[in-house]
Amino acid sequence: MSTPISAPLNGVHHTARPTWKLRETIEFYRDKLGLPLVHAISARGWPDGHPDFLHFFFDSGNGSTIAFFYYIGTERPDYTKPVASHFYGATHTAWQVQDAADLDKWRQRLEQVGVPLRYETRHEIIESLYFTDPNGYPLEVTYQLRPMNQLDADDALRTMDAAMALEDARDPAVFKGIDDVWQRKGAALLKEVV
């Protein structure tokens, strides 16, 4: 394959998900979180079989939006309902704030408007608040403690190269846990110094 052309991206325009709770969703995002409702599409369903729908957008800062589809006259299928599983919670939206002071403002605001915090935690390079919208979609507000740099990128490649090699083995006995990744990565690093 010839080298693909460089195709730059410029941040998030929108991410979208379905809702079956129109008023609750608007009151949550616009009124409780304070995200302006900035655009709404209302249209006949097209092509065939597509229900009539509303598609509406909330401003989440820096040119980004979070969007919803409301499919008129439809029932929420079971497969879209939240379940208590890490697999379900893995799909989430994390909004960025500038610093710890702004994260604290979000902590205060969520309490003021009665949105319960699920938890808050400090990770390696981000500190986050976690909560849930009326649809059950997981949300996060985070600030980044330091910029990511080339060291982070090089280290990420070493970690993921080790993990992919273990996955390639297609053998559960080979890829039992994260220790296998650490050991494979450690062995590769040791070769570079001895």
Q: Which residues are near other proteins by CB under 8 A?
A: 121-125, 145-146, 151-152, 154-155, 158-159, 179, 182-183, 185-190, 192-193
Supply the minimum distance, in Å, between the C-beta of residue 172 and other proteins: 19
Cβ proximity to other proteins, 11 vs 177, nearer residue = 177
Structure-block tokens of residue 77: 């299928």
Supply the minimum distance, in Å, between the C-beta of residue 161 and other proteins: 12
Cβ proximity to other proteins, 1 vs 90, nearer residue = 90
Q: How many CA within 13 A on the CB side of residue 70?
A: 15
Supply the minimum distance, in Å, between the C-beta of residue 11 and other proteins: 25
* CA-wise closest residue to 56 among 75, 40, 43, 71: 40
Cβ proximity to other proteins, 43 vs 188, nearer residue = 188
Q: What is the DSSP letter of 29?
A: I
With a CB cutoff of 8 Å and minimum separation 6, the contacts of 35 are 29, 58, 59, 60, 66
